[in-house]
Structure 1
Amino acid sequence: MATGTEPHPQADAHGVRGRTRAAIASGHLRTDRWWLAPASTAAGLLAFIVYSTWRAFANTHYYHAPYVSPFYSPCIAENCKPMHAGPNWEIFGGWWGLSPALLILIFPLGFRLTCYYYRKAYYRGFWASPPACAVAEPHKKYTGETRFPLILQNIHRYFFYAAILVAGILTYDTVLSFRDETYAWGHMGLGTLVFLLNITLIWAYTLSCHSCRHIVGGKLKHFSKHPVRYRMWQWVGKLNERHMLLAWASLISVALADFYVFLLSSGAFDDPRFF
């Protein structure tokens, strides 16, 4: 018969199995397919990681006049010179023979890796921390983002500033896509539409960022005294509601834009021109 002095059945456990947590033997009480969302997220992110890694190290087929892959723009290494019909951009010399994308991708990938949505995505998808709502995580303890390396997630705002610059450069590339292969203006091809779609989603995702919302409307005590910032905050807030959707859509679109340039550059087909 229980006396009320028996030790907690999980007294020697840690984390979610610790003595201060509910003594539930099963890992969860959910009856739905809770594992489907984190598994799908992990599969999607893994597919992009594999593709982007291949393209970043390929160091080829990233330009077909007038399109330049977003993975390689701005191309600021010596081995990018053939793609430029204008000023010399060889800021970093030959980049030791490595792909210039290894330098360029640091900034957009840093922005996405520290993004609030992507943190949730890969924490659940890869680290199972936690794998889903109301499902116990397998880790013995939880320190959050207070220790290295996860404390580096706090530099997300600085990557946001870099992402704005990257979006500006990709906007410039989109404008240049209204040229033909001889760099004459007033033309449009299928690639132009691909680039327009991509830059629209890139800007929407970038501006839907939580850091952007805080920069626009944060630290204001009275919205009535700042009507312009208030309207901007409302607009960014509407984008922020769709942050997850925009994160995935822009991730797919940037890969699509790169793959389209790859197909053109490798000679798979010619860019259909509308005018």
Structure 2
Amino acid sequence: MSTGVTGPGRAAIEARTLRTDRWWISPLVTFVVFSAFVVYATWRAFAGAYYYASPYLSPFYSPCLGDCVEGASDFGQPFAGFPLSAALIILIFPLGFRMTCYYYRKAYYRAFWLSPPACAVAEPHAKYSGETRFPLILQNIHRYFWYAAIVVALILSYDTVLAFRNEEREWGHMGLGTVLMLVNIVFIWLYTLSCHSCRHAVGGRLRHFSKHPVRYQLWTWVSKMNAHHARYAWISLFSVAFVDLYVYLLAKGTITDLRFF
């Protein structure tokens, strides 16, 4: 039996779409931006260098648990001797969180798999099984990656606090890198806490909100943030990459940090 747009009960329209607007712009922009980020992040993750410029640690390498440069490791180096870049030890968690994110699924399903490329536009695939089969059934572990993302966000918050120290580890420093890390961690938390899984964690499985006023208030706050989840997803993606680039340029000596005090 035919399925999808050719299934019984669907309008017999042979045209790919009747839309007259430029519907293809959104998936095209998503494809270009995501591809650029993947290329950049892959290069930086495997580089294994220029990720620490005291007191700034790149978020791609935090926490640094492998063979790290001096000053970059605040939690020890339990994976010392790891043959590849130290970033590869921990990137699986923030990457897994973003790749299984409900918004990112919609974005890359449309941009890369054309499933479907846009609303009211027929997809080129003859069959569709959703996320019920391997490998897409693994998307259901998103909630567990959210727990890991909370831990990562806490560690990045700790790194941001340390960014108020100077090279001698004395408090009272603030540079452009400190500001960038502050902006980044704010959007990291907004993206993490506006997640659908967070909304379920604080207010899910409740039969009566009236009996749980605290959780109801938390659910209300998360629900309001959830309406902007896509925006936070994009901004935090850019902020993470920008902070890493800034640290890279500092560590390489290409630029110097702008100091405020």
Residue identity opposite 1:63 in structure 2 = Y
Identical columns (%): 65
Tell me: CA distance 1:84–1:141, structure 2 relative to 1, closer, same or farther (3 Å).
Answer: closer
Contact 2:209 2:216 (8 Å CA) reproduced: yes
Q: Aligned-pair distance for 1:44? A: 1.1
Matched, 1:126 2:112: yes
Q: Aligned-pair distance for 1:62? A: 0.1
Contact 1:81 1:88 (8 Å CA) reproduced: no
Structure 2 equivalent of residue 110 of structure 1:
96
Q: Distance in 2 between matches of 1:229 and 1:187?
A: 38
Q: Aligned-pair distance for 1:17? A: 2.8
Matched, 1:69 2:58: yes
Structure 2 equivalent of residue 49 of structure 1:
38
Q: Distance in 1 between matches of 2:8 and 2:181?
A: 55
CA-to-aligned-CA distance 1:19-70 (integer Å, 9 cap, x gap): 5532212111000001011111111111110110010011110000000000
* Structure 1 runs not aligned, ≥5 long: 1-11
Structure 1 equivalent of residue 24 of structure 2:
35
Alignment TM-score, normalising by the size of structure 1 = 0.92
Contact 2:52 2:72 (8 Å CA) reproduced: no
Quick one: which of 229, 240, 258 aligns to 1:243?
229
CA-to-aligned-CA distance 1:125-160 (integer Å, 9 cap, x gap): 000000001100000011000000000000000000
CA root-mean-square deviation: 1.4
Matched, 1:227 2:213: yes
Q: Secondary structure at the match of 1:95?
A: coil
Residue identity opposite 1:55 in structure 2 = R
Q: Distance in 2 between matches of 1:166 and 1:130?
A: 33
Residue identity opposite 2:27 in structure 1 = P
Q: Distance in 2 between matches of 1:62 and 1:155?
A: 30
Q: Distance in 2 between matches of 1:20 and 1:159?
A: 38
Residue identity opposite 1:80 in structure 2 = C
* Structure 2 runs not aligned, ≥5 long: none
Quick one: which of 14, 29, 46 aligns to 1:25?
14
Larger Rg: 1
Q: Distance in 2 between matches of 1:136 and 1:174?
A: 46
Q: Distance in 1 between matches of 2:33 and 2:105?
A: 14
Contact 2:63 2:75 (8 Å CA) reproduced: no
Contact 2:62 2:155 (8 Å CA) reproduced: yes
Q: Distance in 1 between matches of 2:208 and 2:56?
A: 46
Q: Distance in 1 between matches of 2:4 and 2:208?
A: 42
Structure 2 equivalent of residue 196 of structure 1:
182
Q: Aligned-pair distance for 1:104? A: 1.4
Residue identity opposite 1:156 in structure 2 = H
Report the number of matched residues.
261
